[in-house]
Homo-oligomer: A and B are copies of this chain.
Amino acid sequence: MVESSRIFTAALVVIGDEILSGRTHDKNIAQIAAWLQVQGIRLQEVRVIGDDMDAIADAVNALREKHDYLFTTGGIGPTHDDITVDAISRALGLEVIVHPDARAILERYYEEKGGVSEARLRMARTPEGAELIPNRYSGAPGMRIANVFIMAGVPAITAGMLDALTGELEGGARLLSETVGSWVAESEVADLLREAEKAHPDCQIGSYPFFREGKVGANFVVRSTEADALAACTRQLSKSLEAQGNPAYPGGI
């Protein structure tokens, strides 16, 4: 019997009034979720909260012990509403310091852009003991303190920070997935899905209906850490869809 490898989990706290007001459409959830999958880490929970000291500290403390990794996005810029570093430091019982390496990075970055003002220096503040996460895009770094990863709110900057972290975090077996699509109402194939999942206990199947081109359809996503089980389950599902007269599209519609 092969011992199954440990599962690594993560949570994400998205910080920002602009998301809660509906003004800004979050892009970091999907981006971080997809990146974590590749690292073999499962995103299990996301919380979106406002620029509020207590809300941030409470969310960080509720999630950092439940998961191997906790990511935050947003609130690390130079303005008065950027309070993430203060809130996380409070949550962890740490002082806020001006990180010397972060200060040096900002001094280089702003050398020909008017120098490091008091506002810009805010972006060198970190919880005491934090390591920096490089930001190849705009100077001001992200931070890692214990299992908490403090990332930017601007998706392009967060993408660069994730890139810098790629391969750095310990993960488990990667969750693999295959998608099969069909122009069928999911209610007509509920039994097929249940049967395919039952016959392959290492797999889960998700059913994602849509309406497009005036027709109903659904994509069925089979997930497993076992490549063989995944292939077998996907095959059974495709065959049983075809047997019912519903052409199955590998890769989804």
Contact = CB atoms under 8 A, between A and B. Distances in A.
Interface of A: 14, 16-27, 29-37, 42-51, 55, 77-82, 113-114, 117-120, 122-123, 137-138, 154, 156, 175, 177, 185-188, 190-191, 193-194, 197, 204-211, 216, 221, 223
Given A78-B190, A211-B138, A33 B45 contact: no
Contacts of A45: 20, 47-49, 55
A187 B55 CA distance: 25
- Majority-rule SS of A interface residues: mixed
A19 B36 CA distance: 13
A21 B47 contact: no
Contact of A208 (B18, B32, B223): B18
A78 B186 contact: yes
A20 B137 CA distance: 26
